[in-house]
Structure 1
Amino acid sequence: MVATQRPELFSDALGYLHERAATETGLSDFGDDAYLTNLKVLLDCYDRESKLGDYGRTVVESTMISALKGRLYSTENIKNNPDCLTHPIVEPLFILGLPRTGSTALHKLLAAAPDTQALEYWLACTPDVRPPREAWKDHPQYVETVRALARIYDSLPEYRSVHSMKADEADECRLLFLQDFTGMTFSSNATIPGFEKWILDRDMKPCLRRYRDNLKLIGAREPDKRWVLKNSAHLWALGDLADVFPDACIVHTHRHPLQLIASVSSLVYRLRKQNEPSISKQEVGLQQLNLWARVIDRNRELRRENPDLDVIEIRYADFVRQPIETVKSIYRKFGIAWSAEIETEVRQWAAGNRKDKYGAHEYGMEEYGLSEALIMEKFGDYIDEFELVR
């Protein structure tokens, strides 16, 4: 039972959130306290900047409590499996790119190969040594995650056509980044530009080191399998990523911004509209335009500063036209052996997961306050550098 009452202000909720997480897990060790700086900034920005209604407040509280529960689970399970930290992570594949560039489909296609491992949604939320797949359905944390995803789609059924998530499938590194209160998940749920700026300017190495330890924990049964990982947050932390994973193999996905900024705005608006009833599509559109323009400018700067990074460029149009050949090109680039077994598994996944499986995602540029001129002004140099076509 939680003794502390829910406070009026988010900035007064630090103890309440930790108590809720500890009560729900029966655990108490949150690990090192470096994450508290980010969390305090987040709470302050919710108070000063967000437009959350009662429902939205419940949603963001739940997200923060889930993040703290993830810290508790990973801290406890690493203590129970200390040898996991001795296993190196060798030449992991990192997929990064702006949202809606095909990175999710490419991630899941690469993860279908039998020689790789990926970060399953449920284990990213509740990190532990990955059990045999046949035991998942009886694992309490897996069951809890399935129910949590069902609640998301029950409250926002159209979201499935925008971004499909399953407890047993590969998902994004953002779920582990939540433990350090970094990434864009929090600002997808509410209007908190101050927190976005804070995160973009932070040293990500402490977060990435904890993230690396979580990967070692989850993959402890199969430490020799290559990791396939994906997150847009890697775009603005490329230098820090290279420091923590010096042999990283980077797959950078690209798509013409005219084809994606309205799509990103639509996704974020669908997430926010129930949380912040007064938010407008135009407001979200301009926020997303400016946010991702800043991210891509930062990424281009980091790539110039780190010319030795091992990177392959993947353009959306090429991937859509030839998905299997795209995967093969990644294997060739990084010297990974290809086999008939890998091709069979990848082709089977591609055949069973066609685009628009859960319905089409429809949106228009103008309804989000966007125009071709605005987008070209922000992204013109990026478009020219990577020779992106509409």
Structure 2
Amino acid sequence: MLNTQVQASTVQEPLSEGAVLAAAEQAAGLSDWGADQSFRIGLKELLRYAEAFHPSPELRARTYNWVVQILVTKLHLIDDEKIYPEILQERIESPLIVVGLPRSGTTILFDLLALDPASRSPREWEISMPWPAPEQATFDTDPRIAAMQAAFDQILEAAPGMRDIQRLDARLPGECNAIMSHHFASLDFAALLPVPGYDEWFIRNRVPGQYPAHRRILQQLQWRGPRGRWLLKSPVHLFDLNGLLDTYPDAQLVWSHRDPTKTLSSISSHIHTLHTALGSGIGKDAIGAEQWRNWRTCLEAGLKAREENPAVEEAIFDIANRDLLRDPVAAIASIYGHFNRVFTDQFAARIAHFMAHHEAAGRVGRHRHSLTAFGLDESDIRTTLAPYYQRFGQLC
């Protein structure tokens, strides 16, 4: 496990690429950054926007610690490739990938699909700390599980409202947002750090190497860890469905649909809860405008890819969140039927048990939020997203 944490008083100002790279090299005892250093593109932007916010010493230290942790991991992954070149031969075949706007039911869909005994989903703890490579024999007892849960518990202590918004369990499947943070190409940074501007840069630019870097993490997790057919999830894939399929040409995509007027108020409330705990001082109207810009761009990019690339359109199965909640077993069975996957009685029983007994299922519908609280207008959203409503309104 990695320990690169420093106190706020020891972080140099301003944050710089050279400083964090040097700190990572010292912590890891390694200095080879590999042939592809496209990760530096996002790194530079993240540090630039972090400093533009004029962060407090505590927020600067939070950013520094997270960045150095990622860089130390990257150095170790590259070192692993040299010692164990077979890692790069690991094949990621026919992954099932959940997409759709955030707060559109993608997480409950993801959790239910992960109940298939034949599937392999990346757990929160191993995504955050993929080095050393997870081992199948110790997968359920790895000490990184407790470390990740402790970090989640700190978030819940600072922001108790998150309990009704998002499940934070180190053992449950984690999103590709966290995987892509290892390439500094993730909206997780904007959610957990005061870096206004980074998210706008991210949504306007496709970072070279982001999906090969994503695949590299999966290879690391699969190499010595549990095997199965990969199940993945993230709304951010809608920004670059073409890039996703370039790296995973046999991917099968499930697009979860829910009325954007509901998802936008929900994600705005989610981000506001996190930033309140963080003490960023970013107001509700600013958060609402930011989320509206981000996810409007995301939705438009996803629709454009479907319209222009037949391979993207062919790879997608559309599902209504309301249908999933009304009859989860039938909804999951319809996905499996579409992609010619085997849907077993054991899987169906697991879905029914989860919905009846798991805390994550009980959370559905508890989160209260509104558009007006974040300065957003329903009619404006419906007008701007008219092409989406015209095609998928029946699924909302």
Matches within 5 A, 1:114-129: 114-127=117-130, 128-129=132-133
1:196 matches 2:162: no
Q: Give the Å deviation of 1:255.
A: 0.7
Q: Give the Å deviation of 1:344.
A: 2.5
CA deviation digits over 1:155-194, x for unaligned, max 9?
A: 2222222111211111101111011101211122345453
Identify the match of residue 17 of structure 2 among 4, 14, 36.
14
Match of 2:185 in 1: 182
CA deviation digits over 1:99-141, x for unaligned, max 9?
A: 001101111111111000001111111114432365543x343
Q: For 1:314 and 1:389, how far apart are their aligned partners in 2?
A: 7
Q: Which moved more, 1:228-237 or 1:276-285?
A: 276-285
How many residues align? The count is: 386
The two structures, once aligned, show a CA RMSD in angstroms of: 2.7
Q: Give the Å deviation of 1:356.
A: 4.0
Report the TM-score, using the length of structure 1 for normalisation. Answer: 0.90
Q: Which moved more, 1:333-342 or 1:98-107?
A: 333-342
Alpha carbons 1:17, 1:64 under 8 Å: kept: yes
Identify the match of residue 37 of structure 1 among 38, 41, 61.
41
Q: For 2:395 and 2:97, how far apart are their aligned partners in 1?
A: 24
CA deviation digits over 1:80-111, x for unaligned, max 9?
A: 43223223211110111110011011111111
Alpha carbons 2:42, 2:207 under 8 Å: kept: no
Q: For 2:117 and 2:237, how far apart are their aligned partners in 1?
A: 25
1:220 matches 2:226: no
Match of 2:171 in 1: 168
Identify the match of residue 50 of structure 2 among 46, 50, 53.
46
1:326 matches 2:331: yes
Matches within 5 A, 1:120-269: 120-127=123-130, 128-132=132-136, 134=138, 136-137=140-141, 139-190=142-193, 192-204=195-207, 206-221=209-224, 225-269=228-272
Q: For 1:359 and 1:288, how far apart are their aligned partners in 2?
A: 21
Q: Cα distance 1:22–1:323, how it changes in 2: closer, same or farther (>3 A)?
A: farther
Q: Give the Å deviation of 1:203.
A: 3.5
Q: Give the Å deviation of 1:214.
A: 1.6
Q: Give the Å deviation of 1:63.
A: 2.9
**Matched letter for residue 327 of structure 2:** Q
Alpha carbons 1:51, 1:191 under 8 Å: kept: no
CA deviation digits over 1:301-347, x for unaligned, max 9?
A: 11112112311001111111111111111111111112222222333
**Matched letter for residue 366 of structure 2:** A
Report the TM-score, using the length of structure 2 for normalisation. Answer: 0.88
Alpha carbons 2:158, 2:277 under 8 Å: kept: no
Alpha carbons 2:133, 2:225 under 8 Å: kept: no
CA deviation digits over 1:323-379, x for unaligned, max 9?
A: 111111111111111222222233333332253449932222211111212221222
Q: For 2:134 and 2:215, how far apart are their aligned partners in 1?
A: 15
Alpha carbons 1:51, 1:276 under 8 Å: kept: no
Q: Cα distance 1:81–1:158, how it changes in 2: closer, same or farther (>3 A)?
A: farther
Match of 1:370 in 2: 376
Q: For 1:161 and 1:23, how far apart are their aligned partners in 2?
A: 41
Q: Give the Å deviation of 1:42.
A: 1.5
Gaps of 5+ in 1: none
Q: Give the Å deviation of 1:293.
A: 0.7
Alpha carbons 1:146, 1:167 under 8 Å: kept: yes
Q: Secondary structure at the match of 1:220?
A: helix
Match of 1:71 in 2: 74
Alpha carbons 2:133, 2:223 under 8 Å: kept: yes
**Matched letter for residue 315 of structure 1:** A
Q: For 1:315 and 1:358, how far apart are their aligned partners in 2?
A: 15
**Matched letter for residue 318 of structure 1:** D
CA deviation digits over 1:263-283, x for unaligned, max 9?
A: 110011111224354321111
Q: For 1:219 and 1:40, how far apart are their aligned partners in 2?
A: 30
Q: For 1:147 and 1:7, how far apart are their aligned partners in 2?
A: 27
Q: For 1:358 and 1:383, how far apart are their aligned partners in 2?
A: 24
**Matched letter for residue 34 of structure 1:** S
Q: Cα distance 1:65–1:169, how it changes in 2: closer, same or farther (>3 A)?
A: same
CA deviation digits over 1:201-221, x for unaligned, max 9?
A: 333451111211221221124
Q: Secondary structure at the match of 1:227?
A: strand
Q: For 1:110 and 1:364, how far apart are their aligned partners in 2?
A: 29
Alpha carbons 2:38, 2:208 under 8 Å: kept: no
Gaps of 5+ in 2: none
Match of 1:345 in 2: 350
Alpha carbons 1:216, 1:223 under 8 Å: kept: no
1:379 matches 2:376: no
Q: Give the Å deviation of 1:198.
A: 2.6
- Percent identity for Structure 1 against Structure 2: 26
Match of 1:108 in 2: 111
Q: Cα distance 1:246–1:389, how it changes in 2: closer, same or farther (>3 A)?
A: closer
